[in-house]
Structure 1
Amino acid sequence: MSTSTTRPEPTTSRPSLARLREIAPYLSRWLATQVECRQVPGAQVAVRLGEELVLSEAYGVADLATGQPLTTEHIFRVASHSKTFTAVAVLQLVEQGRLRLDDTVADVLEDYRETPLAQVTVRELLSHTGGVIRDGVDSDFWQLDRPFPDADALLAVALEHGATYEPQEHFKYSNIGYGVLGAMVEQVTGTGYAEHVTSAVLAPLGLTSTTPELTDAALATAVTGHSRPHGRTRDRVTVDHVGTGALAAATGFASTAEELSRFFGALALGSGELLTDRSLRLMHRPESTFTRRGVQVSYGMGLIGATIGERRTVGHSGGFPGQITRTMVDPATGLVVCVLTNAVDGPAETLATGLVQLVDVLTKDSADWQALPDGVTPDDLDRLTGRYLSLWGEVDVVRGGDRLVMLDPTTPGPLDALEEVRAIDATTLRVEDKDGFGGSGERVPFEIDEEGRVVRLRITGVSSWPEETYLARRGASWTHAPGQAAPVPAS
């Protein structure tokens, strides 16, 4: 674990709002394809730049059993995103002089003075460096086998099992630690945790669909959580809604992608809506840096740090029974992506990462690219864009400014099979020069009909057709087992 105070500066620029709006339809199509290919019950997504909401979409269903379509109004349990809300509330109290980062648990909570956590500081609780046990020795409330701990049970865990390590010995993620922070907020403010964060954090941003706990009123629009596919039939089991008791400060929040992106947008530098930049920098800066599964991870105060390409982001993930969520914000530019899924195997992390990658690829400054050849216009490039299919799979030709890229929308990440292509003329592209197994250096010719529509392209000499054309071709000749109906050709 490292406690370096050096904060790497992002090197990517602020994307153009106009360019983001131009590429939003493709971002939506890529997401829809990912949800379909990964067989996710539902996903709700928001992309924001500063105060501007660029994309807000929902894909799939809110409940597999009923088939109810998912909408952007449905509420998700965003679980450990709660820690970021709690961190903001705590740092507000620090700014007001009502709490100090060096205050210990014993300084604030008399009932905790005889626990192993007595000398753990506020800062260490915020950054998971206090050595606090994660959930206790019996945490089957995560299996919904029993209720989440109340205040008395939280104190009992702290008393009997509170410390796994000495403070600052290791980064150790802890829901119990954030539960203690929630108790400290209540003690300092003299009000309930939910009441305080609602007035101090949610109300200033106008977040009316976001709650520190899933209330009875919110249940009417709450999505249904789903397990992983089980057994030979690969059926998913639905997951009941439960309260989170004294761990609301760690995992209780419920929200929508739109509102969650609004909250995280307020954590960008210069926002000034919830905290000063001084406090925001404290949140953003890594308190711990470590390697997890070969990937470098950092954690600040209530925020996970992740560098995607050259863009440094902070944000948080959330895992609740039946729901997986992820939000990322570039604190320098205010770019926010938020992905909420209603299954325990929901790919929220990879979808959020993919969105950031697509934004960076498709908003790249055209100055880094060649000028269009004489006689070739952006309209010519638009004519070539679209989804093309062959027996080998799918390829999307996508425009970002005066640039085109080819990518496979079904791979886990958009960069997995991405190739830059340059216009040679109005109907021919050339794949960039690079080492690889694909079409490096080769031309990609497009055949255009009399009405100016693409009817075929060739990549490494292999034909691909516009999606509807290909489906009609294969539908007419696709073999099928006796007794089965032949696939219906696309119209």
Structure 2
Amino acid sequence: TGGPVTPSTATPALTVQQVADLRSALPYVDGWLAYRRWRERVPGVQTAVWFDGGLQLSSAHGLADEEARVPLTTEHLFRIASHSKTFTATAVLQLVERGALRLDDPVGTFVPRLAEAGSPLADATVRELLEHGAGVIRDGLDGDYWQHGRPFPDEGELLDMLVDHGDKAPAGSAFNYSNLGYSLLGLVVAAASGRSYGEFVTGPIVARLGLTHTGPEWADARAAEYAAGHSGRHVSQTRVRLDHVDTRAMAAATGFYGTASDLVRYASAHFDGDERLLSEHSKRLAQREAWQSDASQPASAHYGLGFVIDRVGGHRVVGHSGGYPGHITRTLFDPSIGLAVSVLTNAVDGPATSLSSGVLRLLDLAREAAPAGLATRASSSGVDPARFTGRFAGEFGIVDVALLGENLVALHPGAPDPVEGLDRLRVTGPREVLIAQGNGFGSVGETMRYEFDDDGRVTLLRGSGGMSMRPVTELDG
């Protein structure tokens, strides 16, 4: 692969003003995350945002361990589960670039046990495994290792599972997501590289990028650094702590651990113009849409070579989610503008997907131009629009008034999508703003009136419908 490139060379798509607007929005973004964690009663949420060639936000809210009441930090390690597939795909493509294998090589070339047993999987190609198009069963006939019902399989058991009922569809016939298929790729990486899977991915990927809080498998020596996993609240309001276990032969599919800040740094190496890990050609292969997850649903996500390709707002985003017993995680990035978001949660029902999408939606709002007549930099009548911002509560809920870039807006942080149903505001005086645009079921065309104390702090807001709302300074519990 090529040598490192500077992020500024690789990702020039954001203007100086957009970068400034994105940075100015981060305090609100972090406050929104804190509120969403509290509202959803998630034990902990760790988040990172990367743009303009560097880490711009690294935050942690809540607890690493509910039972022990340990505060979560930005350095607590999370099991990032299927993020592992992106590392595995990167390793395979590095081996392709070295000439150690070809994408269209049959898997049986590297795992002879499959050919010896007469398994159809021996004829599936490396490319088909990477795309989840090899027809491999998802998790086997007994997947209770996902629920700590038994240990994850070792290499011998993995091969037995693949040989015995391991194929469920002809190779190349359909998209069938498979953890066993990616575990098989771990064996391919080991055979083609002459090193163990863990050794190979640690060298040219983890170590090369300086990811000091990332590794391919449970690290017993770092046990105290991990955030505890927690059960969901599917049938109980009380969460139970879930232990970390070694994923053994399935590390290539689900074994990795990491932090949000390490993950956005890793994502940056997959941006356009950055060849620290892969050539531009290899990245195009990895990020090309090979299969759609559900062809009957036009908006469903696509899969490339180890990466999920999805749409969030106006973005075509690349990345992966992860589900491990007790941890739900997601990282997404827009390689064309050099922006990445990672959100890690430590509960089986953690809303990492909606939180990461919400962060991106808020950042998009911050960098977009305001509608005509509503740009605060030109239409605030000499009044600082920031004086109207804050979180306000009334009997019917909570409203955030936020200044995101040049957009002064009223948002509803109780909703998973923070931008849905927003009202756009225009400053009309030192104590009032006009609800200039929004849903007609609300109070469009009416004013929101403020009262301030002698120090300029808001004491009362008469918001939509003229109802009194008061500033929220802290959350109960």
Alignment TM-score > 0.5, same fold: yes
SS of 2:343's equivalent? strand
Amino acid at match of 2:24: E
Greater CA drift, 124-133 or 19-28: 19-28
Q: Quote the residue 1:474 is aligned against.
A: none
Within the candidate set 296, 299, 306, 2:300 is matched to 296
Within the candidate set 211, 217, 221, 1:217 is matched to 221
Q: Quote the residue 1:93 is aligned against.
A: 95
Distance 2:138 2:149 in 1: 18
Within the candidate set 416, 419, 433, 1:415 is matched to 419
Distance 2:153 2:96 in 1: 27
SS of 1:411's equivalent? coil
| Structure 1 residues 103-142: Cα deviation after superposition (integer angstroms, max 9, x where no partner) | 1112222222132201111111101011111111111111
Distance 1:121 1:375 in 2: 61
- Say whether 1:376 aligns with 2:381: yes
Q: Quote the residue 2:58 is aligned against.
A: 56
Cα deviation for residue 374 of structure 1 reads 6.3
Amino acid at match of 1:244: T
- Say whether 1:282 aligns with 2:293: no
Within the candidate set 33, 36, 52, 2:35 is matched to 33
Greater CA drift, 395-404 or 290-299: 290-299
Q: Quote the residue 2:3 is aligned against.
A: none
SS of 1:444's equivalent? strand
Within the candidate set 153, 159, 170, 1:155 is matched to 159
Q: Quote the residue 2:353 is aligned against.
A: 349
Amino acid at match of 1:86: T
Contact 2:302 2:309 in 1 (8 A): yes
Q: How does 1:234-313 map to 2 (within 5 A)?
A: 234-291=237-294, 294=297, 295-313=299-317
Distance 1:329 1:297 in 2: 14
Cα deviation for residue 271 of structure 1 reads 1.3
SS of 1:145's equivalent? coil
- Say whether 1:135 aligns with 2:139: yes
Cα deviation for residue 450 of structure 1 reads 4.3
Contact 1:50 1:265 in 2 (8 A): no
Unaligned 5+ runs, structure 2 = 1-12
- Say whether 1:462 aligns with 2:471: no
SS of 1:457's equivalent? strand
Distance 1:162 1:274 in 2: 32
Distance 1:217 1:43 in 2: 24
Q: Identical aligned pairs, as a percentage?
A: 45
Cα deviation for residue 353 of structure 1 reads 0.6
Cα deviation for residue 296 of structure 1 reads 1.6
The 3 A distance-change label for structure 1 pair 413 and 54 is same
Amino acid at match of 1:269: D
Within the candidate set 165, 171, 175, 2:169 is matched to 165
State the number of aligned residues: 459
Q: Quote the residue 1:110 is aligned against.
A: 112
| Structure 1 residues 16-43: Cα deviation after superposition (integer angstroms, max 9, x where no partner) | 3222221111111100000000000111
Distance 2:380 2:47 in 1: 39
The 3 A distance-change label for structure 1 pair 399 and 96 is same
Contact 1:226 1:342 in 2 (8 A): yes
Q: Please, what TM-score do these two structures have when normalized by structure 2?
A: 0.91
SS of 1:46's equivalent? strand
Unaligned 5+ runs, structure 1 = 1-12, 472-486
The 3 A distance-change label for structure 1 pair 119 and 231 is closer
Distance 2:305 2:373 in 1: 39
Amino acid at match of 1:441: G
- Say whether 1:74 aligns with 2:79: no
Distance 1:225 1:189 in 2: 33
The 3 A distance-change label for structure 1 pair 402 and 426 is farther
The 3 A distance-change label for structure 1 pair 375 and 399 is closer
| Structure 1 residues 68-112: Cα deviation after superposition (integer angstroms, max 9, x where no partner) | 111111000000000000000000111111111111112222222
Cα deviation for residue 445 of structure 1 reads 2.4
| Structure 1 residues 400-437: Cα deviation after superposition (integer angstroms, max 9, x where no partner) | 23320101112222023321112223332222345531
The 3 A distance-change label for structure 1 pair 71 and 433 is closer
